[in-house]
Structure formats: C-alpha cells, structure tokens
Amino acid sequence: MNWLNIWKRVWFRAETTTPLEVVRIGVAIATLILYGSIWSELPALYGNEGWVSREALSPWADNPWTQSLLFHFTTPGYLWAIYLVLLLSATALLLGWRTRWVKWLVLIAHVSMLARNPHIYYGVDGILASLLLILCLAPIGQSLSLDSVRRQRRARHQDLASLPMAMTNVWGFACLRLIQIQMAVFYFYAGVEKVQGVSWWHGSALWIALNNQEYANIPIGWMAEHVWTVNVLSYYTILIELAYPFLIWGRSTRPYLLVMAILLHVGIAVMMGLYIFSFVMIVGHLAFLRHEWLADWGRRWKSRVGPMEMIYDGNCGFCKRSLAWLLAFDGLGQISVRDYRRDPSPVVSSELVDKALYVVMPDGRNHPGFDAYRHVVLRVPGLWWLVPLFYIPVLSRTVGRRTYNWVATHRHEISACGTQTACSTDRGES
C-alpha cells in the first residue's frame, strides 16, 4: 500500500495545471517565432522545387515511421496552406482557443515540416516536437486561456458574484511530470556526453565553441585576457547539467537549480546566438514551477493592488452581460460586484451609479464610467491586453470616453434589444 501511495504521489496528484499552461504558451511562442521567421524561404526549404526535391527523399520518405503531409501534397499551394494552418493553430494554442484540437494541428504540421527536410533538422526541433506531443496528451486550456475565459463567462452569466475556481487534474499533473522527466534526461545525457570530452575537462570547451564562426555572437577579446572566465563557465555548464537531473526534485534545491539552468541558457543565447534553442529549453524548465509558487505570486499581487468593488445596475441586462465578459478575465478574483438596486453602496450614491458604473477601492476612492475601466484593466493581469485601448491618449480620450458615455446613456435600449422579442416590440411601438 505504501508503494501505491508513493506511485500516486509521484505521478497522479490533484493539483492545478497552471505550470502546464505556462509551458503551452511558451511552446506556442517558440513555434510562431521558428516558423514565422522563415516565410520568405518557405519554398526553398520545403518546396518540391527547392533545396531538396521529393524524389531525393525517397529512401527517407519510404520509411513507414517517417510521415509528412508534404509527401502527399507537393504543390506550392498546399505548402502555403499547411504553413498558414501551422501559424494560425500556433496562435490559437498561444491564446488557448479550442486547445483540445488545435494542439494536434500544430504537432502534425510541425512534424510534417521536419520530415520534409531532414537536412535542416536541429536539436531544438526534436525538443519542440516532444513537448508538443506531451501537450497533445495533456488536458490543457483549463487556465490562462480563452477556453477558461469562456467557461468562467458562462458561470458569471449565472451569478456575477461567483469566484473563479482553480481547476485540478490528475492526468494533467502526470503529463507535467513527463515534461519534467524529459528535461532531466536531456540534461543528464548532455552532461555525460560533455565529461567524455577532453576540452571540457581542461575547461577550454567554451573557448573552442566561441571561436567557431557559426556560433560566435560576442567579442571574445576580453576572454583571452581573462582565461579563467572561460574555465569557470565551462565547469559551470558541466556542474549544472550533472546536478540538475538529481537536485531539481528537491523542495529546497529546486529554486536554485531552476534559476541556474535558466541563467545557463540565457548565457547560451547571448554568447552563441542560439536564441530559439535557449528559449525552448527555458520553457521546458518552467514545467518545474510549483503551483504553490504561482498561487503565492497571485496572492502577493492581490495584496499589493488591493480589492476592487464594481457597482452596477442589476436591472440592466447589457450591464450584466458586459460585466460577465469582463470578470471572466479576472482569474485571480480581484473584483467583487455590487448591484446597487438590491444592495446600495455606502460610498457612492444610487443617483450616480444610475448614470455610470463605479469602481470603489478599500480606502473609499472611486472612479466612474470609463475611468473605472481604466483603473481596472491596469491592475488585473487578465485584462492587460486592453491597456493600449484605454491608455493611448487620443484613442482613449476621444473615442473610448465618448463611446462609453453613449453606451451608458442608451444601455436600457441596448438591453431591450438583447432579445429579439423586445426589439420587435420596441420597433412596433415606434
């Protein structure tokens, strides 16, 4: 029984899958950067008239384990169609929209690209494919996504005061564990491979790499004057790669190993120009973020910003629908609501709230209408994407404020038009 409990604790915990969603976002960004940067060279890299023809791949492509859509659809039109689907699906994966099936589109398109031109295959391509495969098996889209926003919006439509629920998933944790084990294995084999090389024992491996014109990304004259820095960085790399697979699992050692590994790849990106590789590896390391850390960061943010209460007109259907949409992005539950018709505010008079929505802070300060939204979007992380719309000077002051004032003035007519019957009745009376 003890072994069974240990097995469940290692693989199947009922914890939030937020770290898995962070990996999802990072993988989507890496995919967009990787393929978005080659659009001008797409026909040359993957087209039948490019560097590698379909006929030249016959021995490779005839292997039943090697599959690509581009083996069967060889015209330029199909190539661009698959490429466009890849970019759109990766964007949807980034936003967390329909993640249940768009993640498979990204994986299939990515693998199709890799198989079509194995001559440009690089290690980061395989790492990205393995991360995508695990994400396809995982129940992603439960937080930090438009899918979760849609779910929260439905709940808010039923009850505006309902708080966001932290979604836990046992299988999601198992998939997160797979990514963690994969990263540990990557580092273990990289470290073992390095200790077999004489240059790593001598501490000169980094100097050799930086003298390679393909990877030299910074001036290295200062290193020639301070050779000890080359030795330290070489040994630091070996130390991290050998220690990581064993110490990353400890509760007390994980933060240090995680920071050291991320710094290692930041250094690789800066010194060797391997930006995409370093970014993908850092994304993989983020699978080791503890959900307790993320929850603690959320609590600290809420404590720093303070609670906010939005006072609205409960008889306005449009107001309730708008608030349900807005609150769906409040994943931390920073905003509480008050219907002034059923529960008048002691801070803002009902006559004022009848003209505009208000947001009230704990110290009694309050903002009406458009300024209420400006205050909220800057303080709720899920609404940061709206910040430009509310803070671009000309757009916010001239268009935004006037639009809000018009909507607030005509909100009852808009609410009546929320149903076809009411709209038809209004038109008949007019």
pTM over 0.85: yes
Instruction: Give the residue-averaged pLDDT of 154-174.
Output: 85
pLDDT of residue 412: 66
33-84: pLDDT as tens digits: 999 999 999 999 998 888 888 778 877 777 778 888 988 888 889 999 999 9
pLDDT of residue 423: 46
Task: Tell me the HSE value of 179 on the side-chain side, using a 13 A CA sphere.
Answer: 34
3-state secondary structure 152-211: HHHHHHHCCCCCCCCCECHHHHHHHHHHHHHHHHHHHHHHHHHHCCHHHHHCCHHHHHHC
pLDDT of residue 425: 38
Element containing residue 30 per DSSP (H, E): helix 18-36
pLDDT of residue 181: 96
